[in-house]
């Protein structure tokens, strides 16, 4: 086909007011009329009188390839499930099926543990510096594929893309970087002692931070010379399977990391397998108790990161506007699907009306809806089952006499998918179910206190002990309160801050053991 001759560009009129030598001078040609900027087509916005400055849609437009079906990742390759059975993983924002996932059984778990056992001596025999190199490569690859991972996390789990993009994926990479640094420094972590790997680790994670929880588990285990069989949650397997691809890409020796997808059946098979040397479980207290029972009397190490009902305490002397932002961060982040969510709010009596008023205004400004929109604050609830659980608690709270507030209540939600507007209860008594049980949704119970001692007594009056938050301007009060909290993590004048160097874990029925920091390494070594 003949190539058409290119049009010669028109000579540019001399309109510059800068001379060749750089000095300013008179214009040498008549200035041209400024051209009108092309009018961009304005998207149609909802004409909501309560929201005169609505945000235009800002959808994440990159498409990520998802295979129609996935197998387990065993011994460095994707393999068919022994049973041949699969289940669908769906996008909770619109209920569309994303992929068919292998249903893990005891036979699949056995194959994965066999592969992990065979790979373990070779992996442990590498120098710490060599293991560290692999971890650095994984971290770098997670960073390089961050956008793809963030999109997948949001599609599969329903969390807002801005949270996957700015929190989940960067923190997952951080955990691999951090533990890469420890791999050749274990002698400094445990001075005067020799750290030996535990062996084969079975690791079971929930659906609220799928890739991040996988990183919390895999990174320290690998740094210490262990091999792993990871089981992601049934509703959110996709990023763990992408991580499997990354493991293969960086040349991780086959069998060092194996991933079995499936539900509680696969999890239980992992726990009950005699070839597993350590179980690291993150999930509900109910399942954690079952695992502890199954492992009682067996020489298998165990760490449990379980549920919570964390207390968030606001004193009268706190900066109230900042504290209100802290409340939003504590309970509405990730739709409230956060183990350490500040779901019990204790406000000192004199400021409760102000706090409730400001919280009402702030909640009305939160954008609930399509998680793939970069402006969305509250995305989709992870599953229909979880939505039904939350709705049951919303009804129960009202039946028991508390008052439900849904300040953003009138805005429309997408027609399909699982959504719950952020809300809070007032008139809550400590004996109410909503004040005692973990709801795992965007639901807050507001209560009051008068003195610091009463705040301590009320905060600690829970079977859980994962986290707490305290807002006050007084340094001495901060220290006094922090020491008195029966919680693994206490945030002061902030909430939900995470860092790979900072150990995380619970007290009481929130579990035992720590993940992250130097303390987190302890669960993955035998010391002599």
Question: Mind telling me the catalytic residues?
Answer: 305, 339
Length reported for the chain: 528
Give the SS3 label for residue 344.
strand
Closer residue to ligand NAD, CB minimum distance, 119 or 287? 287
Closer residue to ligand NAD, CB minimum distance, 282 or 448? 282
Task: Report the alpha-carbon distance of residue 426 to residue 397 in Å, rounded.
Answer: 10
Q: Which string of DSSP letters, residue by residue, matches 417-481?
A: S-----EEEES--TTSHHHHS---SSEEEEEEESSHHHHHHHHH-SSEESEEEEE-S-HHHHHHH
**Least distance to ligand NAD, CB of residue 487, Å:** 11
Closer residue to ligand NAD, CB minimum distance, 397 or 441? 441
**Alpha-carbon separation of residue 180 from 193, 485, 514 (angstroms):** 20, 33, 18
Task: Report the alpha-carbon distance of residue 342 to residue 356 in Å, rounded.
Answer: 16
Unique residue bearing structure tokens 């129960």: 396
Closer residue to ligand NAD, CB minimum distance, 271 or 347? 271
Task: Report the alpha-carbon distance of residue 283 to residue 273 in Å, rounded.
Answer: 19
Burial class from Cβ neighbours inside 10 Å (0-12, 13-18, 19+) for residue 142 reads: buried
Unique residue bearing structure tokens 């008139």: 427
Task: Report the alpha-carbon distance of residue 263 to residue 271 in Å, rounded.
Answer: 13
**Least distance to ligand NAD, CB of residue 336, Å:** 10
List residues near ligand NAD by CB under 6 A.
204-208, 231, 233-234, 263-264, 267-268, 271, 282-284, 287, 290-291, 305-308, 339, 438, 440, 466, 506, 510-511
Task: Report the alpha-carbon distance of residue 335 to residue 419 in Å, rounded.
Answer: 9
**Least distance to ligand NAD, CB of residue 98, Å:** 18
Phi, psi of 53 (to 5 degrees): -120, 65
**Any alpha helices (H) in 192-344, and if so which ranges?**
210-223, 238-249, 264-272, 285-295, 320-331
Are 279 and 259 in contact by the 8 Å Cβ rule? The answer is no
Closer residue to ligand NAD, CB minimum distance, 282 or 376? 282
CA–CA–CA angle 408, 208, 386 (5° rounding) = 60
Task: Report the alpha-carbon distance of residue 187 to residue 189 in Å, rounded.
Answer: 6
Closer residue to ligand NAD, CB minimum distance, 82 or 294? 294
**Least distance to ligand NAD, CB of residue 79, Å:** 20
Structure tokens at 257: 């990391």
**Least distance to ligand NAD, CB of residue 296, Å:** 14
* Bridge partner list, 352: none
**Least distance to ligand NAD, CB of residue 208, Å:** 5
**Least distance to ligand NAD, CB of residue 262, Å:** 7
Closer residue to ligand NAD, CB minimum distance, 233 or 247? 233
Residue closest to ligand NAD when measured from CB atoms: 267
Structure tokens at 122: 């070779």
């Amino acid at each position: 086909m003949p190539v058409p001759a290119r049009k010669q560009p028109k000579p540019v009129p001399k309109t510059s007011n800068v001379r060749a030598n750089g000095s300013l001078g008179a214009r040498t040609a008549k200035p041209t009329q400024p051209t009108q900027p092309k009018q961009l087509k304005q998207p149609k916005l909802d004409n909501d009188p309560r929201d005169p400055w609505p945000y235009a849609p800002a959808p994440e437009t990159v498409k990520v390839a998802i295979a129609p079906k996935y197998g387990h990742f065993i011994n460095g390759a994707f393999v068919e499930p022994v049973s041949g059975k699969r289940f669908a993983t769906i996008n909770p924002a619109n209920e569309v099926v994303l992929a068919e996932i292998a249903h893990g059984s005891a036979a699949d778990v056995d194959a994965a543990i066999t592969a992990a056992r065979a790979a373990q001596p070779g992996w442990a025999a590498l120098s710490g510096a060599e293991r560290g190199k692999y971890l650095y490569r994984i971290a770098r690859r997670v960073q390089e594929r961050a956008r793809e991972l963030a999109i997948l996390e949001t599609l599969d789990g329903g969390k807002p893309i801005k949270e996957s993009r700015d929190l989940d994926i960067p923190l997952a990479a951080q955990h691999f970087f951090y533990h890469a640094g420890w791999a050749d420094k274990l002698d400094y972590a445990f001075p005067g002692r020799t750290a030996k790997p535990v062996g084969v680790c079975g690791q079971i994670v929930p659906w609220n931070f799928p890739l991040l929880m996988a990183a919390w588990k895999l990174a320290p285990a690998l740094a210490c010379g262990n091999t792993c069989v990871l089981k992601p949650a049934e509703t959110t397997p996709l990023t763990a399977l992408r991580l499997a691809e990354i493991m293969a890409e960086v040349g991780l020796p086959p069998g060092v990391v194996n991933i079995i997808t499936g539900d509680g059946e696969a999890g239980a098979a992992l726990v009950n397998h005699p070839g597993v040397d350590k179980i690291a479980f993150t999930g509900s207290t109910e399942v954690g108790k079952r695992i502890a029972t199954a492992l009682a009397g067996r020489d298998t190490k165990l760490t449990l990161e379980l549920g919570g009902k964390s207390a968030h305490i606001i004193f009268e002397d706190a900066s109230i506007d900042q504290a209100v932002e802290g409340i939003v961060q504590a309970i509405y982040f990730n739709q409230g699907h956060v183990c350490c969510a500040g779901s019990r709010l204790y406000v000192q009596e004199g400021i409760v009306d102000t706090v409730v008023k400001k919280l009402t205004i702030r909640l009305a400004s939160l954008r609930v809806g399509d998680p793939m929109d970069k402006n969305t604050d509250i995305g989709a609830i992870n599953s229909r089952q979880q939505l039904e659980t939350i709705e049951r608690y919303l009804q129960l709270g009202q039946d028991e006499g508390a008052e439900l507030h849904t300040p953003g209540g009138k805005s429309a939600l997408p027609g399909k998918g699982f959504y719950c507007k952020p809300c809070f209860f007032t008139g809550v008594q400590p004996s109410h179910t909503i004040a005692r049980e973990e709801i795992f949704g965007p639901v807050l119970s507001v209560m009051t206190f008068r003195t610091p001692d009463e705040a301590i007594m009320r905060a600690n009056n829970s079977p859980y002990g994962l986290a707490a938050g305290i807002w006050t301007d007084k340094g001495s009060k901060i220290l006094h309160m922090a020491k008195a909290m029966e919680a693994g993590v206490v945030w002061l004048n902030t909430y939900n801050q995470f860092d790979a160097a900072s150990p995380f874990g619970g007290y009481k029925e929130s579990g035992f053991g720590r993940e992250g920091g130097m303390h987190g390494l302890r669960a993955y070594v035998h010391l002599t």
